[in-house]
Amino acid sequence: MLNLAWVFFKIGVISFGGGWTIVGVIQHEVVAAGWMSAQTFADVVAIAQVTPGPVALNAATMIGFRVAGIPGALAASLAVVAFPMLAVALVLVLLRSTRVDQKKLSDAFRVATIPLIAATLVSLSITPSLAWHVWLIAAGSCALSLFTKLDPLLLILGSGVAGAIIAAVRL
The model's pLDDT over 32-82, given as tens digits with 9 standing for 90+, comes to 999 999 889 988 988 888 888 888 889 999 999 999 999 999 999 999 999
What's the rounded mean pLDDT across residues 94-101?
72
What's the pTM value of the predicted model, to 2 decimals?
A: 0.58
Residue 169 confidence (pLDDT):
72
Residue 154 confidence (pLDDT):
78
Residue 138 confidence (pLDDT):
80
Task: Say which range, 88-102, 107-121, 132-146, has the weakest mean pLDDT.
Answer: 107-121
Q: Please determine, for residue 132, whether its predicted confidence score (pLDDT) is greater than 80.
A: no
Q: Please determine, for residue 18, whether its predicted confidence score (pLDDT) is greater than 70.
A: no
Residue 51 confidence (pLDDT):
80
The residues near 4 (Cβ < 8 Å, ≥ 6 apart) are 63, 64, 67, 68, 72, 75, 76, 79
What's the rounded mean pLDDT across residues 18-42?
87
Return the percent helix, strand and coil in the chain, to nearest 5.
80, 0, 20
Where do the domains of the chain lie?
A: 2-100
Which has the closest alpha carbon to 111: 84, 147, 57, 153? 147
Catalogue the E-assigned strands of 26-152: none
Please write down the HEC assignment for all residues of 4-36. Answer: HHHHHHHHHHHCCCCHHHCHHHHHHHHHHCCCC
Q: At what angle do helices 55-97 and 38-50 cross, to 10 degrees?
A: 60
pLDDT band at 114 (very low <50, low <70, confident <90, very high): confident
Instruction: Report the distance separating Cα 114 and Cα 109, nearest Å.
Output: 9
